[in-house]
Amino acid sequence: MEKSVNEEQVKRDHLSTWQEKGFDPFPSQVERDCDIASTKEKVDQEAKIAGRIMSFRRHGKSTFADLQDESGKIQLYFKADNLNENYEQLDLLDTGDFISVAGEIFVTKMGETTLMVRSFALISKSLEPLPASWFGLKDVETRFRRRFLDLLVNEKAKETLKIRAKVISFFRKYMESEGFLELETPILQPIPGGASAKPFVTHYNILEHDFFLRIAPELYLKRLVVGGFEKVYEIGRAFRNEGLSHMHNPEFTIFEFYWAYKDYQFLMDFSEKMICQAIEDIKGSREIEYQGKTIKFEPPFPRITLRDLILQDCQIDIDQHKDFDSLKQAIGDQGIDLRMEDIFNWAKLVDELYKKVSRPKIWDPIFVIDYPSELIPLAKKKADDQSKVAVFQLVCGGGVEVIKAYNELNDPIDQKNRLMEQAKMREDGWEEGQWFDGNFVDALEVGMPPTAGWGMGIDRFLMLLTDNYSIKEVIPFPTLRPLENEEGISENIV
């Protein structure tokens, strides 16, 4: 947003005048007996309210203003006859200033709730011009970089963050009602694990050792299951040192739970119930509008194997092409263009093929089940097909992956071997391969009961609920590239 130099200077001049007159432009105490929303119930009564001036309309000896707090907006009516010499102090107020006012609530002939001001006081002076509420911030990046201004004038942005708070509150209450315990796990970890992703690295000076920001809480939550907690979950921050896109932010909110003595089939039923209730409670319907189309969350959701999905979308049967070269040839024969430079093995090739030909076509929610075992080294293999793992992903909205869940691998010998295979792939150049965590293997050797684990990216779920194409819209302060100001000092990245 371009600043108006003249308007900014006027605001600073007004600040100086207030100070010269002996007023404190930033007092600590405020007289307020209700919020603005409550004034509708106080017609013909006295009220003391406070908020930010959003607009002024001066008409000689009468002035109207719009005052806003978090609960809503109200019209103020300043009349010279009521305020006497204090009326002149209105000339020192600007849009953006915070004031407290006292007076009588009435309703105009046009039906607008209004406060007849008997007294007012400046409680915080604004020094920067606000963007016009009907115009807002044009540039998308400026909206996120100056998020505080965006929230002031963009009701959709503010409502999105309110829905975010409601969603997180809903899940916590739901899990508590199901008997789950929320426990925090380390964000700084000596060994990253729980997902295939590149971590952020930091250095712990006292310990003289590199640590990693967690990419997932999974391995520590499963340690808690080993320790006797049968129903445990966490909602918290995770960090992945990967690219920025409309679906990816390096810092995001993850929701994971682990349930002893349950399996992934049970969790599909549980997911349907919980997700449908969340959507209905927050949106008032199981149908939501997303990017111009309707998504219907009506259980039971279809359950389709990864193999069947790919077969129906490109006529390639991955079970008939069980090695890398054969599958690569089949993909080429179908004229499907895949970037091959980051694909290290057959399972990764299957995953990229699915993301190319199938995932974007998924609109109403489905459970995609039974993935190649190499893709998810922490999941238990299917009893009837050791080449696949007992996994599902809930996908909808044109390929938005909302949930991933699976039967947790609790065989310490198998887990050790598969993590060592991942470590070997890391040595061969795959940066997203999982690290070997000997302490986690030790925990499994103590014994972990049959357990089902579940994970959701809260931000992606919110994209669907709030009809936002970009993940940045649902995060209060998304990650942005740092800028250099005139002095060459990097500004805050948000």
> Using one digit for the tens of pLDDT, what is the confidence trace for 417-457?
998 988 887 777 767 778 899 999 999 999 999 999 999 99
Kindly state whether residues 95 and 200 are assigned to the same domain.
Answer: no
Do the beta carbons of residue 381 and residue 372 sit within 8 Å?
A: no
Mean pLDDT of 295-303: 97
Domain boundary among 66, 99, 130: 130
Do the beta carbons of residue 189 and residue 212 sit within 8 Å?
A: yes
What CATH number is associated with residue 75? Answer: 2.40.50.140
Do the domain assignments include residue 324?
no
Classified as helix, coil or strand, 12 is helix
Kindly state whether residues 101 and 166 are assigned to the same domain.
Answer: no
The number of folded domains in the chain is 2
pLDDT by residue (tens digit) across 349-387? 999 999 999 999 999 999 999 999 988 989 999 999 999
* 303 vs 278: CA distance, rounded Å: 21
Do the domain assignments include residue 415?
yes
> Exposed, middle or buried, 113 (CB in 10 Å: 0-12/13-18/19+)?
middle
* 328 vs 212: CA distance, rounded Å: 35
300 upstream amide cis, omega within 30 of 0: yes
Do the beta carbons of residue 312 and residue 361 sit within 8 Å?
A: no
Kindly state whether residues 180 and 256 are assigned to the same domain.
Answer: yes
Do the domain assignments include residue 338?
no
pLDDT attached to residue 16? 97
Do the domain assignments include residue 193?
yes
- 431 annotated as a binding-site residue: no
- For residue 327, is pLDDT > 90? yes
| Count of all residues that appear for the chain in the document | 494
Kindly state whether residues 289 and 426 are assigned to the same domain.
Answer: yes
Strands (E) in 111-223, as ranges, are 113-124, 181-182, 188-189, 201-204, 209-213
Do the domain assignments include residue 375?
yes
Whole-model pTM: value is 0.90
Q: Which residues of 31-44 are buried (b: 16+ CB within 10 A; e: fewer)?
A: ebebbbeebeebee
Kindly state whether residues 53 and 159 are assigned to the same domain.
Answer: no
Tokens encoding 275: 């997700």
Range of the domain at 123: 5-130
